[in-house]
Structure 1
Amino acid sequence: MIMERFMLTPRDVLRSVNESECGFMMREASSWMGFVLTLCFLISMLPNSSRAEQPRVKNVLFLISDDLKASVLGCYGDAVCQTPNIDRLAERSVVFDRAYCQGTLCFPSRQSFMFSKYQGVGPVNLGEHFKANGYYSARVGKIYHMAVPGDIIAGTDGRDHPESWTESFNSPGREAHTPGDFSCLNLNIFTTELAGRQSTQNPHRMFVAVEYDGEGVDQPDSKSATKAIELLNEHSKDPFFLAVGFVRPHYPMVAPRRYFEPYPWDEMTVPEFSADDLDDIPRLGRTGTVSTTNPIGEYPDNQKRMWSSYYATVTFMDEQVGRVLDELDRLGLRDSTAIVFLSDHGYHLGEHGLWQKSNLHEEVVRVPLMVSVPGINPGRSESLVELVDLFPTLSELAGLAIPNSVQGKSLVPVLENPQLEVRDSSLSYTGNGFGLRTNDWAYMKYKDGTEELYDMRVDPDQLTNLADSPGHQEQRDQLEALLHSRLKQGEIATN
């Protein structure tokens, strides 16, 4: 029997049965009670995953960090960065070790997973879907794209989709203009003066950090946590979809001084790099910021300060996540709430001499993703998953119909059995080309025809590009064919 997932009604069930069988059953159901019993029997024969009337969860808490690379979290193996609250959540979650974003900048990535579309928008988004099904749906902070720091300073909505929300709340802050020790690390500027700081639309804003004396309550992420706690209390008895967007560690890297103290800059270890590391990376495979052309390459100590500042803001963000999780527990909502934690994409901090995002290498496309569901055992999965999979996953967990427009796949089978796989590849893109990740290989194809190919089993740091290696042409051809197939299926523009 072929049935569209979660779209069945009792009438649909009867229609799906062979006419003669249905007629027989109806004749046997000589009374209303007989009909009801027959109908219950038919419904009981459906797979559990198809029963929208049996949700696993009442609520969803959707937590997202900005520009957070998976590799800096303790639960993903970093021994330096202190992330006790996210690590605590990981212990109660299924942690995905190979989760990949689709867009590699904030705007395309967030639009993609909120609509479960590889590119563009669909007729319904994630928040809107829950809202239409009777949920209180709220946004706190950055969920869709906001310009950071511009929209944060202004307290404006950015590219929000207001139809998503019952209510929405911004969390403004002073960002680079926060009084304190300002640094613009690629220009080697250190000052406490407020005038002349690199900020909104300035070309060097991505290398800015501010360390200041204070408790952090003035910072956007602290405000977002406070508002989220308030909303949890106000709506603890309502079914809710609460999306909380933290802006750190996105630049400018601003945090109170005590968050910098665990990370003395002179004790930071930075990725090894020499200029020839870029020789086998095509021009379109490099970010716009590279150590060989940006002044950051001239200041090795400031590269260490970049790591110190990034770690400091990750830890500050982690503390705000912890505040929200603690309140969820205090209110007794953990047993009825699915919790998702993710980032929109990763980040380069000098690997290959690259900085920031918007390229197809592992540090950018791989993201942290953990999902905690009442009644599902915690664990880890190496299954390939994509952020577009979150929309159908949360819909199934809540017992909602999965709209036909979504392009992701439900991860509920993987949550129940982390050894299962629902994909043989993940797909990511930039304005310059496309990337494909399989269990063992990473392949990139750029619009000028250049390519990258890495054997991730022996070269997880992607140091040796095998695209032109004579011994790997068959593998390259197979991956190119798979990429073309994925692009066609995903309705992604290739020109």
Structure 2
Amino acid sequence: MLKHKQNILILMADQMTPFALSAYGHHVTKTPNMDALAARGVVFDSAYCASPLCAPSRFSFLSGKLPSAIGAYDNAAEFPSQTLTFAHYLRAEGYRTILSGKMHFCGPDQLHGFEERLTTDIYPADFGWTPNWDDFETRPSWYHNMSSVIDAGPCVRTNQLDFDDEVTYTTRQKLFDIARERQAGKDERPFCVVASLTHPHDPYAIPQKYWDMYRDEDIQMPAYRDTLEAADPHSKRLRYVCETDKTPPTDQQIRNARHAYYGAISYVDAQFGAILEALDQAGLAGDTIVIVTSDHGEMLGERGLWYKMTFFEGGCRVPLIVHAPGQFEAAHVSASVSHLDLLPTLVELGCGQPRPAWPDTLDGWSLVPHLRGEPQAHDEAIGEYLAEGAIAPVVMLRRGDFKFIHTPSDPDQLFNVTADPLERTNLAALPEHAARVAAFREEIAARWDLDALREEVVQSQRRRQFHFEATTQGVIESWDWQPSVDASQRYMRNHIDLDTLEAMARFPAVTR
């Protein structure tokens, strides 16, 4: 039996590839706080997001459902209010659910089961970033280009630093508030706190302190930089959307971007460390499960690709570390798992046992058997990509040693990821793999109607484009989350006796 009603703290980064973390074998980046959690926790060596793009990945991470099941097609897709998230399930079990930072919610519901939201989001909540598969040739002006790479280097401040500093501050403050409230007997519920940073997402700009943690000569260059002619069709479209070949970076600019990215990872680690310090100082660490992950990966120039949007390992693999004090032995899990698995895992960890019945279907399985080291635990990850750079749904199946990528518009891709981790050899057309390819294609046909899904995506894009054009005429009502703070209840106020007020705020309490 698992411990009952433990607190849960989820530390989430944005666009942080496991291939640049020392816990996953990288020998350059400096991440002492994540390393310490990994040394004491369970590290999933083959974890995947459900979609290599911010909003679809996060919506699947929260709901345990594939993007197509909830209409989470792209970064301007509404997350339907009726979709159940782990925040709903945990809240129903008596948890206090709190979100600080980025979750990229689009639409009028900006809570999705969270009782409290401490910051606004760094991205807009409207439909303005809707892709257009009807007109792929017209590149969206609001999307990534190569300026993040070309202009990479040290900085003093950015939007992202402003945002993440606020996320760290509010999360630390909330942990201290929780401790003080428990001390006063006001609210003793277990909590699930999600602290979600936007680093190390591009642009690749980081303060000198973190830049100087790395020497230029220690920054590795991409292992392979495919020519445009040698790239697969989807990669060619991504290179067009991101203007990779229109404005190619120099070798030094590539090195600068990777240098700043490593610095940003150390910044993320420092923020996680500050939050973990507050957890410990508040006396909550011994009864709190800590989970570290990211919404998706980062290609960092490998194969000539940057950012995400691809099912190559750099784009879709994510770090996943689970530290549950006194519950599981430190271990590495080699089986492939997914963000889709986190909802049933969190519910089982939080409640101490599997939920006997679910009010909705899920696309994932609990990771508790993996955490226990049980040999029959599942080994599968499934993904979809339905956004910029695609012209039809792209789906991925990872099982055992093999990954299969399929889209109706392009040739199939099959990789033995174990034997060929850089995915240099596409096995899909080889006769000795014909039976495996046929089995994967048969499974895809049973799981998806890709022609119908494409039509659903296009119709959704058309509606949202019209919606945005209409609702940006005249008076505009924003869906962006506005944090609410009652200043009359903060700091020194004269409606409470001074000694009482000071005693309430002091932690730990003074005993006489």
Deviation at 1:285, TM superposition (A): 7.2
Partner of 1:136: 96
Kindly report the root-mean-square deviation, in angstroms, between the aligned alpha carbons of the 2 structures: 3.1
Equivalent position SS for 2:276: helix
Deviation at 1:210, TM superposition (A): 5.4
User: What fraction of aligned residue pairs are identical, expressed as a percent?
Assistant: 27
Partner of 2:469: none
Deviation at 1:161, TM superposition (A): 3.2
Deviation at 1:377, TM superposition (A): 1.5
Q: Are 1:161 and 2:100 an aligned pair?
A: no
Distance verdict in 2 for CA 1:159–1:436, change over 3 Å = farther
**Contact between 2:341 and 2:365, CA under 8 Å: does it hold in 1?**
yes
Q: Are 1:393 and 2:345 an aligned pair?
A: yes
Partner of 2:262: 311
Q: Are 1:89 and 2:29 an aligned pair?
A: no
Q: Are 1:422 and 2:371 an aligned pair?
A: no
**Contact between 1:382 and 1:419, CA under 8 Å: does it hold in 2?**
no
Equivalent position SS for 1:434: strand
Partner of 2:403: 442
**Contact between 1:140 and 1:243, CA under 8 Å: does it hold in 2?**
yes
Q: Are 1:410 and 2:360 an aligned pair?
A: no
Give me the whole-angstrom Cα distance separating, in 2, the residues matched to 1:306 and 1:83.
Answer: 18
Residues 375-430 of structure 1 deviation map (CA, whole Å, 9 limit, x = unaligned): 2222110122110111110101111736342322111111111644223x211111
The amino acid of 2:155's aligned partner reads Y
Higher relative contact order by CA 8 Å / sep ≥ 6: 1 or 2?
A: 2
Give me the whole-angstrom Cα distance separating, in 2, the residues matched to 1:429 and 1:114.
Answer: 16
Alignment equivalent of 1:299, drawn from 236, 245, 250 = 250
Q: How do residues 169-188 of structure 1 correspond to structure 2 at under 5 angstroms?
A: 169-170=118-119
Distance verdict in 2 for CA 1:117–1:217, change over 3 Å = closer
Residues 22-48 of structure 1 deviation map (CA, whole Å, 9 limit, x = unaligned): xxxxxxxxxxxxxxxxxxxxxxxxxx4
Distance verdict in 2 for CA 1:494–1:381, change over 3 Å = farther
Partner of 1:460: 421
With structure 1 as the length reference, what TM-score do the two structures score? 0.74
The amino acid of 1:260's aligned partner reads W
Q: How do residues 42-121 of structure 1 correspond to structure 2 at under 5 angstroms?
A: 48=1, 55-119=3-67, 120=70
- The number of residue pairs the alignment matches comes to 405
**Contact between 1:268 and 1:308, CA under 8 Å: does it hold in 2?**
yes
Residues 153-198 of structure 1 deviation map (CA, whole Å, 9 limit, x = unaligned): xxxxx88632422221226889xxxxxxxxxxxxxxxxxxxxxxxx
Give me the whole-angstrom Cα distance separating, in 2, the residues matched to 1:258 and 1:292.
Answer: 31
Partner of 2:75: none
Equivalent position SS for 2:319: strand
Partner of 1:231: 174
Give me the whole-angstrom Cα distance separating, in 2, the residues matched to 1:451 and 1:266.
Answer: 38
Partner of 2:329: 377
With structure 2 as the length reference, what TM-score do the two structures score? 0.72
Partner of 1:348: 299
Q: How do residues 142-291 of structure 1 correspond to structure 2 at under 5 angstroms?
A: 142-145=102-105, 161-170=110-119, 203-207=145-149, 208-209=151-152, 211-213=154-156, 219-236=162-179, 237=182, 238=188, 239-276=190-227, 279=230, 281-283=232-234, 287-288=238-239
Deviation at 1:248, TM superposition (A): 0.1
Structure 1 gap segments, 5+ residues each: 1-47, 49-53, 147-157, 175-198
Deviation at 1:444, TM superposition (A): 0.8
Give me the whole-angstrom Cα distance separating, in 2, the residues matched to 1:430 and 1:244.
Answer: 25
**Contact between 2:144 and 2:242, CA under 8 Å: does it hold in 1?**
no
Give me the whole-angstrom Cα distance separating, in 1, the residues matched to 2:108 and 2:268.
Answer: 23
Equivalent position SS for 1:303: helix
Equivalent position SS for 1:348: coil
Give me the whole-angstrom Cα distance separating, in 1, the residues matched to 2:320 and 2:108.
Answer: 24
